Structure 1
Amino acid sequence: MTVKPVNPRTVPSVHLGPDQVARGPLPERVSMEPVTEGAPYAAERTLLDGPDGFFALWACDAGVYPRVKDRRGSFMYILSGDATITDADGTSHELTADSVLVLPYAWQGTWQIRETIRKVYLHTTPVPPLPGAPVPCAFTPTEQVLHTPLPGGRAVLFDGPDGRCAVLACEPGSAAPTEPGRAVFLHVLDGEATVTDADGTRHELTTGSTAALPSGWTGTWDVHRTLRTLAIHSTPRQDTP
């Protein structure tokens, strides 16, 4: 993926096509510590790392992994695999292809991966006020993600300090699903569109592709066939001096 030089006043989008999302190489190695059992490392490909969040493709083989979300929240779309996610209170959910999982700041629990999980995900910096006690995950099963009707063009799956996650329908001629001061990260469930950055760079969005429109992005958005997307809106990190 090549990022072209742009006017410093503009911010380019990031795009990865469906073949690369589903089967492309993941060249980075990431420690999975703490590990109860199983693979000690995951594989990853960073797509965007900046104030809006850390956006990447990721895959990990079978294992059991306890986790505490004490720095940031995570939004993820499961591309393939089979796993169980269990909250600290014992509530569990089955992760399969096309399901959506949100692990908010303050979540605690365990991953049990049975068949290699591949996902596209976003880490965000939560916006205060932050929860003071463990919180449950937010899980949306495959059938609901892919087929639930979208009254008003959207179905909100999660909305909290970490960001908002929704399934959106964008009809031909509609504007990009951006909001002032916020980034939007998209995984295309169905449909076709062209995104054109301010410098004229064009990206084709098709079923299975992934894109990010960072805060400050400008350009045009041309929907050719109704888009159904998983869309995550995040608020940029506010760095302190």
Structure 2
Amino acid sequence: MFRVLDVDAPVPTTPLAPATVVDGAPEAGSRALAAVAGVEVGVWEMSPGTATDVEVDEVFVVLSGAATVSFEDGESVDLAPGSVVRLRAGEHTTWVVRETLRKIYVA
């Protein structure tokens, strides 16, 4: 038996903490879809703007939107539908979201 996961359902968002916002007034939120072998699978969304974050161990696939995520070491990755990225716990990142970003994550 299987269960269809609705990755298109609305994700509740809230304004990001002011200390993390670099530009604009981005909002973000997530919705858990399932737990598989103790790992969470969910959908995360962020509206346009720039914000910093400290990451958790995660792999994600971008479903829609456009953004760039930059890392402390100077590397940056342009994100578009189909992008697959691995984040490591403790990494400091800066997210520049140009078009509302929606991703499915495994963490």
Q: Same fold (TM over 0.5)?
A: yes
Cα deviation, residue 50, structure 1: 7.8
* Map of 1:73 onto structure 2: 57
Whether 1:15 aligns to 2:4 is: yes
Equivalent pair of 1:14/1:47 in contact (CA under 8 Å)? no
The percentage of counterpart residues that share the same residue type is 31
Q: TM-score, normalised to structure 2's length?
A: 0.80
C-alpha deviation, 1:40, in angstroms: 4.2
C-alpha distance after superposition, 1:50-96 (max 9, x if no partner): 87123211221111111123xx3111100011111111021111101
Bigger RCO (CA 8 Å, 6+ sep): 2
C-alpha spacing 1:48/1:31, structure 2 compared with 1 (3 Å)? farther
The aligned residue for residue 107 of structure 1 is 91
- Which residue of 33, 57, 66 corresponds with 1:82? 66
Query: 3-state DSSP class of the match of 1:119?
Result: strand
**Please, which runs of 5 or more residues in structure 2 have no aligned partner?**
none
TM-superposed deviation, 1:14? 4.9
Structure 2 residue identity aligned to 1:48: A
**Any stretches of 5+ residues in structure 1 without a counterpart?**
1-11, 124-241
Write 1 or 2 for the structure with the bigger share of strand.
Answer: 2
Q: Tell me which residue corresponds to 1:197.
A: none
- 1:37 corresponds in structure 2 to 23
Q: In the alignment, which residue of structure 2 is the partner of 1:25?
A: 10
CA contact (8 A) 1:32 1:41 kept: yes
Kindly provide the amino acid, as one letter, of the partner of residue 80 in structure 1. Answer: S
Deviations 1:146-171 (A, max 9, x none): xxxxxxxxxxxxxxxxxxxxxxxxxx
Q: How large is the Cα RMSD of the aligned pairs?
A: 2.3
Structure having the higher Rg: 1
* C-alpha deviation, 1:13, in angstroms: 5.9
TM-score of the superposed pair, with normalisation by structure 1: 0.39
Contact 1:86 1:109 in 2 (8 A): yes
Amino acid at match of 1:45: R
Matched positions, count: 105
